[in-house]
Structure 1
Amino acid sequence: MRYIFAAALVALATPAIADPVNIRPDTASVTVQTEDGPAEISRIQDNANELSGEWARTSRPCPNFCIQPMTPAPGVTTIGEIELLEFLETGSATVIDSRVRPDYEGGTIPGAISMPYNEMSTRLGELGCEPDFEGFECPADVKPVALFCNGPWCGQSVASTDVV
């Protein structure tokens, strides 16, 4: 009886092994080819991890931090994390960080290229688009573009769609 009791105490004192934190039930990570070589994207495996600092704030004054519409402009399709990871993994779309350069330099999604929203109108030629009278004409064979910025309150990607 003492042995069973001691084993129970050891079991209670040992932390439970946490379930893995996957991207999807069958996907723990995604490997993206970048200019610097392969980069692995995964979730933090600490189930008790919490955000802290500036990006953990849930409330900021509006404007400038108003929630943006899910469909920022006609013809623009909103995607989620899974679709963005598939674009990065397969290379089937150009992923653009539309934040200002200092934000990009502070850290970005591996495989994303920097094209700040305030430079977009002069840099669309880099994507194979040509200027025309109403903005830019992009040929059908140009890869789709996925823009991202600082989250649902950020208007930088929305501003970029006005150019395209």
Structure 2
Amino acid sequence: MPALRPWTALLCVMATQAIADPVNIRPDIASVTVETEDGPVEISRIQNNENQLSGYWAQTSRACPPFCIQPMSPAPGVTTIGEIELLDFIEKGEGLVIDSRTHDWYAGGTIPGAISIPYDQVLDRMAEMGCEADFDGWDCADAQPVALFCNGVWCGQSPTAIRNMLDAGYPAERIYYYRGGMQMWRMLGLTVSGNGN
């Protein structure tokens, strides 16, 4: 076997270093498995230590309006969560993870196990979350816990959906808001299902 040229050897070392250090979710957890309609999906982080966002997800400055920074909590009583809490929610199967973005965004890649209920359809689909239609609108006494997300801290789709759900009678204590959304999910190199992976 011929000897490697010095620059080729350097490139090999650099490539090895790029994937050398494990990228866990937490020090004690490398991945989480979620059951989906298509079978189990393992959620982990991209193992390339040199991975970077590019294109749309790396954009930092969007015109406001409409892309204004959202408040930490979209409404009183709603719990805002981060990635670890969302992964616990997913892994334990505590309720529904709802991608409240429009279908084109969902089709471009989503959090594994999330179902698509666009923000502008949420009031028509509350039965899927455990509410029952009644003469006054919705009876949500048996509503499931739900975790909603959209594109990130500048996206108003999930906050709009949450406020509409609350106005229709959904219990605030059963709603979780993943404020970081797809931008933070992708920034952390977490698994994306669908066409945008």
User: The TM-score by the shorter chain falls in which range?
Assistant: 0.7 to 0.9
Aligned to 1:92: 94
Which has the higher relative contact order, 1 or 2, with Cα contacts under 8 A spaced 6 or more apart?
2
CA distance in 1, matches of 2:42, 2:63: 35
Gaps of 5+ in 1: 1-8
Q: CA deviation at 1:27?
A: 0.7
Aligned to 1:39: 41
Aligned to 1:150: 151
CA distance in 2, matches of 1:133, 1:51: 49
CA distance in 1, matches of 2:135, 2:159: 21
Percent identity over the alignment?
Answer: 66
Gaps of 5+ in 2: 1-5, 166-197
What is the letter of the counterpart of residue 162 of structure 2? T
Higher Cα Rg, which structure: 1
Count of matched residue positions in the alignment of Structure 1 and Structure 2:
153
Over the residues paired in the alignment, what is the CA RMSD in angstroms?
A: 2.0
CA distance in 2, matches of 1:121, 1:69: 22
The reply on whether 1:51 has 2:30 as its aligned counterpart is no
**In the TM superposition, what whole-angstrom CA distance separates every residue of 1:32-71 from its partner, at most 9, and x where no partner exists?**
0001000011111111111111111111111111100001
Aligned to 1:101: 103
**In the TM superposition, what whole-angstrom CA distance separates every residue of 1:90-120 from its partner, at most 9, and x where no partner exists?**
1112100000011111111111010000000
**In the TM superposition, what whole-angstrom CA distance separates every residue of 1:121-152 from its partner, at most 9, and x where no partner exists?**
1110111213468753312x432100000000
Aligned to 1:22: 24
- Deviating above 2 A after TM superposition, structure 1's stretches of 4 or more consecutive aligned residues are 12-18, 130-137
What is the letter of the counterpart of residue 151 of structure 1? G
CA distance in 2, matches of 1:92, 1:120: 20
What is the letter of the counterpart of residue 49 of structure 1? N
What is the letter of the counterpart of residue 81 of structure 1? E
Q: Secondary structure at the residue paired with 1:78?
A: strand
1:135–1:163 CA contact under 8 A, matched in 2? no
CA distance in 1, matches of 2:133, 2:148: 20
CA distance in 2, matches of 1:132, 1:69: 32
Q: Secondary structure at the residue paired with 1:163?
A: helix
What is the letter of the counterpart of residue 22 of structure 1? N
2:99–2:118 CA contact under 8 A, matched in 1? yes
Name the TM-score, length of structure 1 as normaliser. 0.86
Q: Secondary structure at the residue paired with 1:86?
A: helix
